[in-house]
Amino acid sequence: MINHLFYKHIFGMDSKILLIMSRIYSILMYSKIFSYISDNASIKFFFIYVTSHLLAPFVSDYNINHYDIEFLMILCNQILIGMAIGLLFQCLFSCIIFIGEIISSQIGLSFSVFFDLGFHVYSLVLSNLLNIFFLFSFFVYNGHLKLIIFLIKSFQVFPLYNTSIDRNIIWSIIHFSSLIFLNGVYCVLPILFFFLILFIACMVLNRIVPSTSLFSSFSVIIFIVGMILLKYFIFKFYGISKILFDYLFHYLKIYGFKLLWHK
């Protein structure tokens, strides 16, 4: 019944509400937030509809016919803007999964995988554990509030009824993603260097004292040392998450001001 109600009144909505809904839906879809929610599509639609009504007072009014070609162009523009914003947040979570894969490969947990229903792929347990911790840090750091503020200001940086898109936005997203993944590599470099020193020390010790066969118990030593390092890494994980969030919101702030300055 609720599906029939939505399909009946969707074309009778205000054009501004439909355009706001298209941008919010693209952000939530391409940031993979909706991938972890297994609720009915009508509930997601109702959530986007209510959120759009709450954001409507912050957006300038401009009525346009639903069946006009200009409305279709503006609708596609809102989807592209939502995709760009959603990909920025997806870069952060992909970076955390990348960090978890590097650590898992070093401490011998690459075999611990399970099927992720959100991304429909097999993923590592440690990567998803770090992803959960990162999501907690996102709420502790008030990332959800900053996301709402940025969503409101995005309608000022990218006006609702403006069909022009900055040509440098794609290169800017690529540059931002490279910085995020580079910082992710910097976060795991101490662990990589520690295991490199441990490998070299075991090889030298095995050559100096040939009677001691370390390779038979080498995997056990690596696993125990890796668990100890993982303990201290998780303790410092909030600081790492804070650095990544600072990069994200600093990038959004600087890039938004740059666009407003050129306008």
Name the pairing type of β-strands 121-124 and 113-116: antiparallel
How do residues 33-68 score in pLDDT, each as one tens digit? 766 666 677 777 788 888 888 888 777 766 666 667
DSSP secondary structure string, 189-225?
HHHHHHHHHHHHHHHHHHHH-TTS--TTSHHHHHHHH
pLDDT the model gives residue 159: 74
Q: Which helix (H) or strand (E) holds 178?
A: helix 169-208
How do residues 151-167 score in pLDDT, each as one tens digit? 787 777 777 776 666 66
pLDDT at 24 exceeding the cut of 80:
yes
What is the distance between the alpha carbons of residues 197 and 203, in angstroms, rounded to a whole number? 10
pLDDT the model gives residue 2: 46
Q: Which residues sit opposite 123 in a β-bridge?
A: 114
Q: pTM for the whole thing?
A: 0.73
- Tell me the backbone φ, ψ of residue 191, rounded to 5 degrees: -70, -40
Task: Kindly give the interhelix angle for 41-55 and 143-157, rounded to the nearest 10 degrees.
Answer: 60
User: What value does the mean pLDDT take over residues 226-254?
Assistant: 77
What is the distance between the alpha carbons of residues 83 and 93, in angstroms, rounded to a whole number? 15
pLDDT at 26 exceeding the cut of 80:
yes
